[in-house]
């Protein structure tokens, strides 16, 4: 048993080292070699190829990304982000269900279940400085205050900067930003067919998701301005069924991107 565990850890360390060499060199906070803790975490979660700290929140909480699936020719790279608004806590069940299940093949998938760990801890939409992270990205950024406050300047928040450097490094073909509670899939003006596919897969209507306050500085706006992939916002309702988030949506997303367990 000890030998088998040792072999498994060595294999994981090898996978981690290869992945680190190709995808994590830009992260100052990422370990250059997998730690024993990372190896244990991935051993307990067979779908996880790599666990990465992509940055830290205002209150120094780590922001974690999990690399799932497999890379290869013709295999799409997809990033799923949730709980950018800390009071949208149920939605993190979708990326966590993808992370915690069996091994994934056919899609190169990254999930960031909690982009705003301080907001999650405090049950606030904003980060610990009262900034709405989805108004803080440096595309169409305008200075606003209040509930949808955009921060003192573009990309002022460490959570925003962590996500930017992560996305610039991974360069996904598709980015899905999960939110609550508006119940709809935002229409992607660049690739409306993508919105319709996601809408059908998740049984949510396509709609122009209403932006509170000024609709500038969002993550999807920034992504589409700087990277060739497409990004959409998907909103579930205020109280989605647990089965929907833990079973139906993860399965449908895998199928949509050609993946399987
Ligand atoms: Zn939100």
- Nearest 5 degrees, angle CA 10-CA 40-CA 114? 130
pLDDT for 192: 87
Question: How remote is the CA of residue 85 from the centroid of ligand 1, in Å?
Answer: 5
Positions of the chain with pLDDT lower than 50, given as ranges:
1-33
Question: How remote is the CA of residue 46 from the centroid of ligand 1, in Å?
Answer: 30
Question: How remote is the CA of residue 104 from the centroid of ligand 1, in Å?
Answer: 27
pLDDT for 95: 98
b or e along 182-212 (b: 16 or more beta carbons within 10 Å of the residue's beta carbon)?
bebbbbbeebeebbeebbebbebebeebebe
pLDDT for 199: 96
Question: How remote is the CA of residue 57 from the centroid of ligand 1, in Å?
Answer: 17
Q: Where are the alpha helices (DSSP H) in the chain?
A: 2-23, 36-44, 93-100, 117-122, 158-170, 192-202, 219-226, 242-243, 249-256
Question: How remote is the CA of residue 126 from the centroid of ligand 1, in Å?
Answer: 10
Q: Which CATH class is domain 46-256?
A: alpha beta
Where are the domains positioned within the chain?
Answer: 46-256
Question: How remote is the CA of residue 179 from the centroid of ligand 1, in Å?
Answer: 4
């Amino acid at each position: 048993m000890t030998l088998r565990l040792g072999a498994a850890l060595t294999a994981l360390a090898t996978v981690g080292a290869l992945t680190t060499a190709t995808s994590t060199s830009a992260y100052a906070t990422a370990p250059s070699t997998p730690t024993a803790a990372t190896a244990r975490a991935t051993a307990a979660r067979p779908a996880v190829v790599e666990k990465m700290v992509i940055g830290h929140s205002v209150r120094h909480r780590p922001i974690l990304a999990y690399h799932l699936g497999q890379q290869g020719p013709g295999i799409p790279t997809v990033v799923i982000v949730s709980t950018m608004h800390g009071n949208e806590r149920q939605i993190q069940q979708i990326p966590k269900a993808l992370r915690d299940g069996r091994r994934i093949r056919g899609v190169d998938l990254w999930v960031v279940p909690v982009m705003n760990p301080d907001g999650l801890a405090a049950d606030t939409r904003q980060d610990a400085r009262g900034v709405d992270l989805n108004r803080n990205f440096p595309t169409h950024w305008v200075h606003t205050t209040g509930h949808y406050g955009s921060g003192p300047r573009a990309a002022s928040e460490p959570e925003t900067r962590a996500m930017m450097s992560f996305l610039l490094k991974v360069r996904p073909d598709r980015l899905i930003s999960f939110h609550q509670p508006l119940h709809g899939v935002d229409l992607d003006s660049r690739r409306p067919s993508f919105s319709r596919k996601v809408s059908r897969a998740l049984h949510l209507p396509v709609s122009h998701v209403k932006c509170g306050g000024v609709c500038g500085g969002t993550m999807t706006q920034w992504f589409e301005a700087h990277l060739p992939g497409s990004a959409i916002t998907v909103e579930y309702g205020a109280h989605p069924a647990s089965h929907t988030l833990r079973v139906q949506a993860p399965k449908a997303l895998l199928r949509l991107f050609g993946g399987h367990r």
